[in-house]
Amino acid sequence: MEKKEKITDKKTALLDATLNLVNNHGFHKAPMSKIAKLAGVAPATIYLYFENKQDLINSLYLTVKASFSEHAFKGYEDGLPVKKGFEIIWYNIADYKLNKIDEATFLSQCDNTPIIDEAVAEEGLKHLQPLLDLWEKGRKEEIVKPLSNYILYAYTVYPLSFLLAIQEKNYYKLNDEMRQKAFQSAWDAIKI
């Protein structure tokens, strides 16, 4: 057990270091040497855990995406009424994006930049299936507008990325009341 943990330790440290550097300075200006230093490790050590820089970034992306999905569906289960289910997921995602700022910022950067290999990016898309299923159900029950999943996503989850970015730049801080209003707008946008 101890050995396995040690491995995870350094791997995690490297992923964390990468996250911070890429977030704060961009993919360029996040050299392997700095990543190593920030992780408290020698540069060559990185290559024991990752094939190369691209693999490191890809791995980080998938790791963060997985953690995101895990949070997104916390407390959610299949049988719930559409609005209730949507509410749970939306608030979960909002919590994630507005609290786990670094992770969310990194995902934003990946989604708007060609730094992630396309194949890997596609793999990251599969995580939202339960939400897509819920929307399908909502459309059938004529509670949700007959719009494609893309549009539903664009008007409910995606706006949170903007609010995150704004908050990150310290222009603004989203309190509980505003969060409720934001949810209301999301729901208004897609409900029939």
Binding site for DNA (CB under 7 A): 3, 6-7, 10, 29-34, 41-48, 52-54
Largest CA distance in the chain: 58
116: tokens are: 């992630």
- Minimum gap (Å) between residue 26 Cβ and its own copies: 5
Selection from DNA, its own copies, none that 46 binds (CB < 5 to 8 A by kind) is: DNA
Q: 181 contacts which partner out of DNA, its own copies, none, CB within 5 to 8 A by kind? A: its own copies
C-beta contacts of 129-134 below 8 A and 24+ residues apart:
130/73, 130/76, 130/78, 130/89, 131/72, 131/73, 131/86, 131/89, 131/157, 133/78, 134/82, 134/85, 134/86, 134/89
**Rounded Cα distance, 46 and 37, in Å:** 11
Q: Does 155 bind its own copies (CB under 8 A)?
A: yes
Binding partner of 52, given its own copies, DNA, none, CB within 5-8 angstroms per partner class: DNA
Listed in sequence order, the residues at least 6 apart from 129 whose beta carbon sits closer than 8 Å to its beta carbon are none
User: Which of the residues 5 through 24 are near its own copies (CB under 8 A)?
Assistant: 23-24
Closest CB to its own copies among residues 77, 188 = 188
Residue 133 CB coordination number (10 Å): 12
13 binds, among DNA, its own copies, none (CB under 5 to 8 A by kind): none
Q: Which residues bind its own copies (CB under 8 A)?
A: 23-28, 108-109, 111-115, 145, 147-148, 150-151, 153-155, 158-163, 165-166, 171-172, 178, 181-182, 185-186, 188-190
